[in-house]
Homo-oligomer: A and B are copies of this chain.
Amino acid sequence: MRRDVFQAIADPTRRAIIGLIALQAMTPNAIAEHFDTSRQAVSKHLQILVECQLVKQEQQGREIYYLLEVAKMKEIDKWLEQFRKIWEDRFNELDTVLSNLKTDKP
């Protein structure tokens, strides 16, 4: 199953999970308590997140803590980069228009 980061964050529950464990590592049961889904459902989401390396596991006795792989989040940021350039340019254009309006006024 070719899963990428973008598909992983498409699901709102998954985004919520990411938001949760970003603050501190948690076990599947602990995460599930924050939603009204079953533990298994959460586990599946976690599996997907692990698969595309947005999240990693850390076994501790019989409990498994899930924690955010911050580095992987940057992949999304990297994709946005190209558009950031564009939207900054558009703002610059707007600035130009505005300053032209000013200089034309008097």
Which residue numbers of A lie inside 8 Å of B, CB to CB? 4, 6-7, 9-10, 12, 15, 18-19, 22, 68, 70-71, 73-74, 76-77, 79-80, 82-84, 86-87, 90
Asked if A70 contacts B82 (CB within 8 A), the reply is no
A7 contact set on B, CB distance < 8 A: 10
- Copy number in this complex? 2
A52 → B minimal CB distance (Å): 12
Asked if B22 contacts A15 (CB within 8 A), the reply is no
Query: In the complex, which of the residues B4, B10, B22 contacts A6, with contact meaning CB atoms closer than 8 Å?
Result: B10
Known interface pairs A6-B9, A22-B82; 13 further A-B residue pairs with C-beta atoms within 8 A, sorted by A's residue number: A4-B12, A6-B6, A6-B10, A6-B15, A7-B10, A15-B79, A22-B86, A68-B83, A68-B86, A70-B90, A71-B87, A73-B80, A73-B87
A39 → B minimal CB distance (Å): 24
Task: Using A4-B12, A6-B15 as known contacts, say yes or no to A76 and B80 having CB atoms under 8 A apart.
Answer: yes
Would you mind naming 12 contact pairs between A and B with Cβ atoms under 8 Å apart?
A4-B12, A6-B6, A6-B12, A6-B15, A22-B82, A22-B83, A68-B83, A70-B86, A70-B87, A74-B87, A76-B76, A77-B80
